[in-house]
Amino acid sequence: MDWAGVKGGESVAIFGAGPVGIMAAKSAWLRGAGRVLIVDTLAYRLSKAAASANCETILWEGDGKNVIEQIRSVTYGRGTDVCIDAVGFEPDRSFIDRAKSALNLEKGSVKVLEACMSAVRRGGIVSVLGVYPTTYDNFPIGQFFDKGITLKGGQAPAHKYIDELLEYVVQGKVVLEDVITHRLPLSKIADGYSMFKKKEDNCVKVVLDPWAAG
Ligand SMILES: NC(=O)c1ccc[n+]([C@@H]2O[C@H](COP(=O)([O-])OP(=O)(O)OC[C@H]3O[C@@H](n4cnc5c(N)ncnc54)[C@H](O)[C@@H]3O)[C@@H](O)[C@H]2O)c1
């Protein structure tokens, strides 16, 4: 939330209700956000985010225009103070999205980052947690300039924050249990990865437990 500049009272829209997005929501509340919305294409992920991080939920449908409209309609037309991209370059993609990527020789798509730039208010902050591994054509540089958006992101500097974060867990200020959906022994590691990737059995977060019975 340092990148997102959340200090208290801000409206925050998080795209992606995976473990990263849900933990971003918990962090936003911890920093005193005034409102936390979360967006996903999967209803079960949104239910998890609502239950574990008290988020307002928005289901991404079709090209995602409904999301931008909904975010603007609950923020007096302005957009949220902060948008967080917790999806990255591998969003759910249509045939047309895939054809565009092939034509542009790109890996995946920047459509969620574009949606963040549309949903954030003028002068707002877009924080990019989802991975983008390469260059992309048609990046909305005009919108970035016109709206005066601050764009931050990158790999989490885990070493910088880990002591502070563990302390939050020890003090009970952050609960992790409610994000975990599966605990598996090490012998089932391949099943765990497969289930997470294919989003089977309402999977959100798998913990590999060396002491669990195989
Ligand atoms: N910055 C870092 O240091 C760091 C650390 C860990 C993970 N990551 C990255 O963060 C991203 C999220 O990780 P995760 O473990 O939560 O992954 P995940 O796949 O569980 O979550 C991504 C979510 O995005 C949803 N989604 C797909 N298309 C969407 C769309 N158009 N709009 C909204 N939601 C959409 C999926 O349904 C899924 O729930 C990945 O790119 C991952 O590599 C970054």
Give the atom of ligand 1 at the shortest distance from the alpha carbon of 129: 1
16 pLDDT exceeds 80? yes
Band (pLDDT 50/70/90 cuts) for residue 2 is: confident
114 lines ligand 1 (CB under 6 A): no
8 A C-beta contact, residue 73 and residue 91? no
Which residue's alpha carbon is nearest to atom 23 within ligand 1? Answer: 16
**Pocket lining: 155 vs ligand 1, CB cutoff 6 Å:** yes
- Give the mutation target among 94, 117, 131 for probing the ligand 1 site: most ligand atoms within 8 A of CB: 131
Once rounded to an integer, what is the mean pLDDT over residues 35-55? 98
In sequence order, the 6+-apart residues with CB closer than 8 A to the CB of 20 are 86, 129, 130
Based on the number of CB atoms within 10 Å of its own CB, is 17 exposed (0-12), middle (13-18) or buried (19 or more)? buried
All domains of the chain in start order, with CATH: 11-153 (3.40.50.720), 180-214 (no CATH)
Give the number of C-alpha atoms closer than 13 A to the C-alpha of residue 70, restricted to the C-beta side.
15
Per-residue pLDDT of 140-186, as tens digits, reads 999 999 999 999 999 999 999 999 999 999 999 999 999 999 999 99
Q: Which pLDDT tens digit goes with each residue over 192-201?
A: 999 999 999 9
Residue 39 CB less than 6 A away from ligand 1: yes
Distance between first and last Cα of the chain: 38
Q: What is the mean pLDDT of the chain?
A: 95
Cα 17 to averaged position of ligand 1 atoms, centre (Å): 7
Q: How confident is the model at residue 213 (pLDDT cuts 50, 70, 90)?
A: confident
Residues belonging to the chain? 214
Q: What is the mean pLDDT of residues 73-85?
A: 97
